[in-house]
Structure 1
Amino acid sequence: MQPASLHDWFEINALFIRYATTLDHGDVEGCVSCFRDDAFIESPVLGRFEGREGIRRFAERTATVLRERQARFRHVVTNLTASVDGDRAQATCYLLDFYTEAGKTELLSPGEYFCDLTRLDGRWLFDNRIVVMDRKFDLGM
């Protein structure tokens, strides 16, 4: 793999941002659309979710917390690195995950995303997203 071209880097970065913002706004289908059909998410806090239905369940859990608790998440991603080989890529970034409920905001934990991606029909999608957090936390989700 080679370092991503500027064009690929911006498109991959846009995918990371689209994922974070759709998740934070409770946009379940928008979140699911960031992934290939056979993709998976693995989180040390919430477990592993496979395929579109698994990722939909993952996103619905977040949307339920937002709705029922009138809470807010803010997934802030930064320091993106990406390598590309044709229509395959690997990318990582740092993550700051903030949670606000009842007027109180806390940093849940810093962490990192490790991802494999595929470009399908000119659009980058996640094959997998592995989340590594610096410390454990529990929101009762």
Structure 2
Amino acid sequence: MSMHSREFMMTRKLYIIYSCKEKQSHTERKSQLAYESLFCINQKESVGVEDKKVAGEAMEGGSSNNTALGPKLSELKVLQKEHEEKSSKIQELKRQIESTKHRLEKKKDVTGDKMGGFNALSKKYNILREEYNAILAEKQGDQSNFTT
């Protein structure tokens, strides 16, 4: 497989991956794109290294120049590690958000139940108060009839 077709396949895979991930946030997409771009660069460089090694072996006394590749690979590893740490932190924060939402929903349910109970007790109190006032007024009316 030629290097151009490898690049095309990697680009196609990245396109498919991103078309399936529409629910990810903009920040997650940026970090994922950066990670995959670095992965793609790493793939190109490793293909180039293999080609250089083959060419170097074919020539007697020839050597491949791999000194520039070391810093790029270590930088890539550092960036990959940072990406993994940030991804795990994002997942943890998502879990915390979901648990907080769940707790708030429970509190809303409890608050709704308490409000329903309070309203029922208020209605009962008002009914009893009206009955009491009616009985009291009736009693006072009876007493005023006895005194006159």
Q: Which has the larger radius of gyration?
A: 2
Using the size of structure 1 for normalisation, the TM-score is 0.23
Q: Which has the higher contact order (CA 8 A, sep 6+)?
A: 1
Using the size of structure 2 for normalisation, the TM-score is 0.22
Greater strand percent: which structure? 1
Greater helix percent: which structure? 2
